[in-house]
Structure 1
Amino acid sequence: MFGVVRLSHGLPRFLGSCAIAGVLVAGVLAPVAMGAGMLSNQVSDSVDGISASLATSQQPLVTTVTDRDGNPIATLFDQYRLPATYDQISAAMKAAIVSVEDRRFWDEGGVDPKGMLRAALHDSSGGSTQGGSTITQQYVKNYLINVVDRNDKAAQYEDKADTLARKLREAKIAVQLGQSESKEDILTGYLNVVEFTGNVYGVGAAAKAYFGTTADKLNVQQSALLAGMVNNPNLYNPYTHPQQALERRNQVIDDMVTNRTLAEKDAEIAKATPLGVLDDGPRIPSSTCMGAAPDAGFFCQYAEQYLIQAGFTADQLAVGGYTIRTTMDPVVSQTVKNAVEHNVPTTQYGVANTFAVIRPGAQTHEVLAMVANRNYGTDPAQGETSSNIVANASNVFGAGSSFKIFTSAAAMETGKAGLNTPLPNQAGQCFTQPGANQYTAPYCVQNDGTNYPDPISLRDGLATSPNVAFVGLESQVGMPAVLDMARRLGLRNTLTTNDAGATPDPSSSNPQYSEPQSQYFSNKLSFTLGNSPVSPLEMANVSATLMSGGVWCAPNPILSVTDRDGAPVAVKQQACEQVVSPGLANSLEAGLSQDTISGTSASAARAAGWSHPDIGKTGTTQQSESVAFVGGVDDYAVSSMVFADGPKPEEVCPGTPVHLGSCGHGAFGGTVAAPPYFTAFNQLLAGKPDTPIPAADPAYLNARS
């Protein structure tokens, strides 16, 4: 196989090889020296550069993405190629390709003087160019087309040009290759680089795609079919041109008899067999994360983008032959996938249910699951979406009152409130917007219901979620502190998007589209009520930050990356940050520990038989287009969001299944978003000891300013 070691023997040897090639070619082409002489300088000048490219270019291989246990979940590739060693290719395959393509392969020196002379004499007389290429020369040609120049259409055109200049160039390089590589390596390299049809490259991939077998198990008739395809993969495609493929296969079998690598009686038996290819083939796996299992597609896409942001290119991932071992936990992922599909079926019109799970930690926040009732794909009729609705700021309606976490944390950090602090909580109240002038309308808000005490403690407010108390607290703390806290705790990407969940458009005159959320909400008290686009994954990471003692880490989907040779590849990772004090993080956890006991999700928790100590905060937008549950239990940080995702969004209604409609009361985070959490983690935590919630730090029980 072409490689740095075998083709980097130094300039003296290279020049010697070229000298040999020059003498050989000159001798062969003496009768046509007048016609070919003008090509000499052109060919010689190009050989150095091409040989260097061959020496440093590696064949594109399939990258495999696995879960944390090493089980493959997806493949990424530009060319479907499964490399095989010489010993991993059947004797029949090697005999078939030599018999049909270059029967003097084992005896020649890289070029076939007789074949070249025949081609040169014919070409110089003005006829169409002739063959005469050896397997070694074809190896060079295919390596240039399929490896070195695979992304350069103009160069590929030159590599395929049926000209004497191209053949001379190949001949010189082939002689060099014949001097430095064994026949076994050349034949192996050739069989690994050639294209069969479509996106199938190399005999290993062809054996699997056409016959569902491996290269070492190819029999005579299978080998003959594949060997015959190399000359013209489209014409001899057994699916589109079965008769031509059959005739070509049988011709190769006859050539094997002529070349004395197959007995005539065995040839007759082989020729009498049908093509024997797989039905509906060639069977090629998906080359993107859209081929992943339903519970792994969004995770795979996030892992791919994470690596690109870490410095890999998409092309590197598609050709590098890496093994990417992700942090995905297959048991957690499948369990929560089942739970959300039970809550909202995959094809339910207009309703998405996302669910993200992250493992907290002071050194890394490993992502364990990223699922939705939707699947990652391109067919909306099948409940598929090509947008990563778990990672992106896809919930454009917001996470509702779960954003009160940020106001609470900012108030506790600045000393404006502690868990025991009484907050004014009228049934309704109007507030002056930040930076308001005499023309700015006040922001008026009401509580959802009349059973709230006035005042109410911050601790009880986190459980029962009155709007007036938190908008008043946000007004007292100030928007800069609240927005900064949201960023620090986890909304790093969310706050860079605009109020439509997209990249801000500076050309727009509307601040809703031109400004990032971090700027747009700087004078809007509605932020604490969670009416802005948000990433479900980042909201799970907010919980992970609190559960990590106030340490934020980027949601990490990668355990390791190894290259095609099994060597580890470093992945650049963003450093973790201590964003709030451990005392504040623990105190806020304590404040969030009552939601499933006496708060907004308590009824659903009781119905599910839930008894584990946990943290939680529900959210419901004003028109119930989105509901959320954000929290955590044991060493799992979670977010479950149910929101309208169709072209005609409406109120989300509870039911079996959850659906869109005009149901009056609408859905709530506790009744619609929390149940998948209870369903999944009742299963995952069965038989395991409970993990207690940290006690509040006395420093954060009361206001300090």
Structure 2
Amino acid sequence: MNKPLSEADVRKYNLRIWKIVIGGIALFAIFISMMGFGLFGSLPSFRDIEHPKSNQASEIMADDGRTLGTYFVQNRSNVTYKEISPNVINGLIATEDTRFKDHSGIDFQRTFTIIGYNLIGKKQGGSTITQQLALNLFSEEGRQRNFFKRVMQKFKEWVVAVKLERNYTKEEIITMYLNTVDFGNQAYGIKSAARVYFNTTPDKLTVPQAATLVGMQKGITMYSPTRNPERSKQRRNTVMAMMVKSDFLSQQQFDEEKETPLNLHFNAATVNDGIAPYFRSVLKNDIKTIFEEQGILKPDGTPYDLDRDGLKVYTTLNYEMQEYAEEAQKEYMRILQAQFIKSWKGRNPFKDKALQIEQGVKRSDRYKSLKLEGKTDEEIKTNFNTPTDLTIFTWKGNVDTTMKPIDSVRYYKMLLRNAMMTMDPTNGYVKAWVGGINYEHFKYDQVKMGTRQVGSTAKPFTYAVAVENGFSPCLTVPNVPVTIEGYGDPYTPKSSGVPLAGSITLQKALAYSQNYVTAYLMKQVGPVAVANLATKMGIADVPAYPSICLGSFDASVYNMVGAYGAFANKGIYTKPIYLLKIEDKNGVVLFSQKPIPKPIMSEEVAYVMTRMLKGVVTNGTGSRLNYKYHINAPIGGKTGTTQNNSDGWFMAVTPQLVTGIWTGCEDRAFHFLSTNQGEGANTALPIFAGFIKRVYANPKLKISHADFEAPKSGVSIVFDCNQYQKLEEGPTELDEKLGF
């Protein structure tokens, strides 16, 4: 039988236990201190704590502050505490860290409880929200799987969590957490998650929506609402039940909400998400160029990364107008494509087009990829003639099919392309930009990067020079062939159809796009003056040859819209502008710019040109805007159709908007067979009609039906043809008697 311990023995053992406990605490404190000094691996510095690193998406903003899209490696955009619904905050605290507002980064009470649960086999997570934030921000390797490494990582989290608590408020910490957490499906942060899963913003998340997103943090894949909807719903209800337990939600509301479906509005996040993908692609390249040319660097001297540095890019694009432009294009191009295919029925569009098909093969991604793999030309030819699984674009959506790659090249050669841009002529602000028909399949931007022959849309430049030299729109000219000499070989343009008989006014000649009268004016004013004006209007590389009067040169939609803007803006040219300002993630302005207006013609000449362009729409090649699409507003315009109907154009001017639209195939060798179908009035004008109808129907846009303002100083150029005729005929006998 053991002898009972004496009082001295008890004191001795107690002292020994206390020494062990105190020694253990001291050793642990020394260990934590050593870890804080980085002796067991580097920890973030105070500067790192103040400026935590995270891959943050850069946002492209429309003129009203809405997001057009993002550039990202991780689709992450930050929001402030006030921009997050209380439902999210409450759900997160109730589920992840009920004592969040009371602890200082480490909840020891909860930690020891969790240890107890784990010892009896009930696996529980013990990290506070602050510790989870520490892991998200500073542990690049993620959560360690090795037990001993994970223990060391856990202690580091404690140190970082305490630092975070000392440097940030509770609101800032929970906001940082929600901005950095991964929600799956390329949705990083609550803002991205709200849009990807529910097509909403964080401030509008309902209780069930918030609970769904919070619930995912227990396991992104296991509780994914897209992959495991039933499990996600159960987890959502668990989160709501915990909100009831924490008094964030009433029992009645829980009972009402727990049976509701998930009601996802899922849109997977890709860099092509959002509207205006062509615009955003051009803009990205522009910003890179600006940063390089102006030497704009981060405070640490390294270049900015648009995909990681969370910049805010402010643009001039109008969200609604951009949507309307994309809708109008999609609406009409599917109709036009059907017309195009039907027009070739019974004919072989690829006859004598072997060169174009070969060029198409060599431009394709498949060809470039095979070349990089070291394939020979013969192997590549075999590959292109072997049926394979492909996804092709159609106006009814992507189609998965099996076909020879060479046949897909032929298919795309017969696919009509289209581009459109709209600008406010008063300040040069671009309002809508549609660079192609589908960015996923066709990356090449046709608004600014591509140029095509402009055809008759160039005629107003010659008319403007003539008006500036005293020619009245009411001047009558014989509509007969004209030969222009003195600039190389004699130039005698042909008519683009049956010419109007007899003598006609300049106004009528422009309205009906008569080549002979345009050539007559070119002969009077000379190509140098016309080329100079076109250059002043922002169109580069216009040669001083007589043929430019009929649009023999190439230009982009971007430059043509800028040029026509001078007519609408009282003779003042403003280069189209679409980038206003770039800020870093802290709101520091890195770059800004303003439009630079340049007077290039008198207000009087510009006003007369707008009246002549209105004549094209009221009684000319653009008249279907009125009689077919019933748009009765003071709109000026000019259609354009190039040789063989390869390109169709329509330029439209109003006092508040100038729009340019081009339609054609990728290769000029493929085109409509008849001018009736291939002219700009049929291939481009209807898209403008669909766009402007939507614009006029939205009163928020404040685009009025007001006419162009006449110069306050008056107009000396006679554009009233009745008055002009009287002046030409001279004073009548009655006029003389009355003293006129």
TM-score range normalised by the length of the shorter chain: 0.5 to 0.7
- After superposition, the C-alpha distances for 1:444-474 in whole angstroms (9 at most, x for unaligned) are 5323356467997755543444435545755
Work out which of the residue numbers 76, 80, 83 in structure 2 matches 1:79.
76
| 8 Å contact from structure 1 (residues 621, 627) kept in 2 | yes
Q: Distance in 2 between matches of 1:222 and 1:464?
A: 59
1:12 is matched with: none
Work out which of the residue numbers 33, 48, 54 in structure 2 matches 1:53.
48
1:175 aligns with 2:165: no
Amino acid at match of 1:138: Q
Greater relative CO (CA pairs within 8 A, separation 6+): 1
Look up the SS of the partner of 1:403 in the other structure: helix
Look up the SS of the partner of 1:96 in the other structure: helix
The Cα shift of 1:94 comes to 0.8
Work out which of the residue numbers 272, 276, 291 in structure 1 matches 2:274.
291
| 8 Å contact from structure 2 (residues 677, 683) kept in 1 | no
1:230 is matched with: 217
1:480-499 alignment, distance < 5 Å: 481-491=529-539, 495=540
> Mean Cα displacement is larger for which, 460-469 or 243-252?
243-252
1:107-256 alignment, distance < 5 Å: 107=103, 110=106, 135-144=129-138, 156-157=140-141, 163=149, 169-182=156-169, 185-202=172-189, 206=193, 229-230=216-217, 232-234=219-221, 237=224, 239-240=226-227
The Cα shift of 1:553 comes to 1.5
2:455 is matched with: 400
1:573 is matched with: 594
Q: Distance in 2 between matches of 1:131 and 1:603?
A: 69
1:94 aligns with 2:105: no
Amino acid at match of 1:668: E
1:427 is matched with: 481
Q: Distance in 2 between matches of 1:84 and 1:573?
A: 33
1:448 aligns with 2:496: yes
1:12-23 alignment, distance < 5 Å: none
Amino acid at match of 1:79: R
- After superposition, the C-alpha distances for 1:163-185 in whole angstroms (9 at most, x for unaligned) are 47766654433332233445565
Q: Distance in 2 between matches of 1:600 and 1:262?
A: 70
2:640 is matched with: 619
Amino acid at match of 1:402: T
The Cα shift of 1:585 comes to 2.5
The Cα shift of 1:198 comes to 3.2
> Mean Cα displacement is larger for which, 157-166 or 668-677?
157-166
1:659 is matched with: none
| 8 Å contact from structure 2 (residues 474, 506) kept in 1 | yes
Larger of the two Rg values belongs to structure: 2
The Cα shift of 1:617 comes to 2.9
Amino acid at match of 1:536: V
Work out which of the residue numbers 361, 365, 382 in structure 1 matches 2:428.
365
- After superposition, the C-alpha distances for 1:5-58 in whole angstroms (9 at most, x for unaligned) are xxxxxxxxxxxxxxxxxx99973176x89xx9799565687543xx31331348
2:665 is matched with: 645
| 8 Å contact from structure 2 (residues 76, 189) kept in 1 | no
Amino acid at match of 2:679: F
Amino acid at match of 1:198: N
2:515 is matched with: 467
Amino acid at match of 1:54: I
The Cα shift of 1:548 comes to 1.2
Look up the SS of the partner of 1:445 in the other structure: coil
1:27 aligns with 2:27: yes
- After superposition, the C-alpha distances for 1:181-238 in whole angstroms (9 at most, x for unaligned) are 455653453344322323233456657766789689776x988876664365345545
The Cα shift of 1:547 comes to 1.8
Cα distance change, pair 45–479 in 1 and its aligned pair in 2 (3 A):
farther
- After superposition, the C-alpha distances for 1:276-312 in whole angstroms (9 at most, x for unaligned) are 6456x8x3465556433xxx66677777777777769
- TM (normalized to structure 2)? 0.60
RMSD value, Cα: 5.8
Amino acid at match of 1:193: T
> Mean Cα displacement is larger for which, 241-250 or 538-547?
241-250
Q: Distance in 1 between matches of 2:230 and 2:651?
A: 61
The Cα shift of 1:552 comes to 1.3
Look up the SS of the partner of 1:650 in the other structure: coil
The Cα shift of 1:142 comes to 0.9
Q: Distance in 2 between matches of 1:165 and 1:454?
A: 95
Amino acid at match of 1:651: H
Cα distance change, pair 63–189 in 1 and its aligned pair in 2 (3 A):
same
Amino acid at match of 1:392: K
- After superposition, the C-alpha distances for 1:607-633 in whole angstroms (9 at most, x for unaligned) are 667775554333221211223232424
- After superposition, the C-alpha distances for 1:333-357 in whole angstroms (9 at most, x for unaligned) are 7389549835863764633455544
| 8 Å contact from structure 1 (residues 62, 318) kept in 2 | yes
The Cα shift of 1:565 comes to 9.2
1:230-629 alignment, distance < 5 Å: 230=217, 232-234=219-221, 237=224, 239-240=226-227, 277-278=262-263, 283-284=266-267, 286=269, 288=271, 290-292=273-275, 320=310, 322=312, 326=316, 328=318, 330=320, 334=324, 337-338=327-328, 341-342=331-332, 345=335, 348=338, 350-352=415-417, 354-361=419-426, 364-370=427-433, 375-378=437-440, 385-389=442-446, 391-392=447-448, 394=450, 396=452, 398-410=453-465, 415=469, 427=481, 429=483, 431=485, 433=487, 445-449=493-497, 451=499, 461-467=509-515, 470-471=518-519, 474=522, 481-491=529-539, 495=540, 518=541, 522=543, 525-557=546-578, 571-596=592-617, 599-601=620-622, 614-629=635-650
The Cα shift of 1:377 comes to 3.9
Identity %: 21
| 8 Å contact from structure 1 (residues 365, 553) kept in 2 | yes
Q: Distance in 1 between matches of 2:131 and 2:308?
A: 27
Amino acid at match of 2:136: N
| 8 Å contact from structure 1 (residues 392, 536) kept in 2 | yes
Cα distance change, pair 612–115 in 1 and its aligned pair in 2 (3 A):
closer
| 8 Å contact from structure 1 (residues 63, 76) kept in 2 | yes
Q: Distance in 2 between matches of 1:620 and 1:674?
A: 12
Amino acid at match of 1:584: V
| 8 Å contact from structure 1 (residues 595, 617) kept in 2 | yes
Look up the SS of the partner of 1:201 in the other structure: coil
Cα distance change, pair 113–490 in 1 and its aligned pair in 2 (3 A):
same
Amino acid at match of 2:638: K
Q: Distance in 2 between matches of 1:625 and 1:324?
A: 37
Q: Distance in 2 between matches of 1:243 and 1:463?
A: 65
Q: Distance in 2 between matches of 1:665 and 1:634?
A: 30
Q: Distance in 1 between matches of 2:653 and 2:335?
A: 24
| 8 Å contact from structure 1 (residues 355, 370) kept in 2 | yes
1:3 is matched with: none
Cα distance change, pair 366–223 in 1 and its aligned pair in 2 (3 A):
closer
Q: Distance in 2 between matches of 1:223 and 1:607?
A: 50
Q: Distance in 1 between matches of 2:497 and 2:336?
A: 34
Cα distance change, pair 106–529 in 1 and its aligned pair in 2 (3 A):
same
The Cα shift of 1:431 comes to 5.0
- After superposition, the C-alpha distances for 1:569-589 in whole angstroms (9 at most, x for unaligned) are 984224222222324323444
Look up the SS of the partner of 2:460 in the other structure: helix
1:125 is matched with: none
1:438 is matched with: none
| 8 Å contact from structure 1 (residues 430, 445) kept in 2 | no
Cα distance change, pair 529–464 in 1 and its aligned pair in 2 (3 A):
same
Amino acid at match of 1:427: P
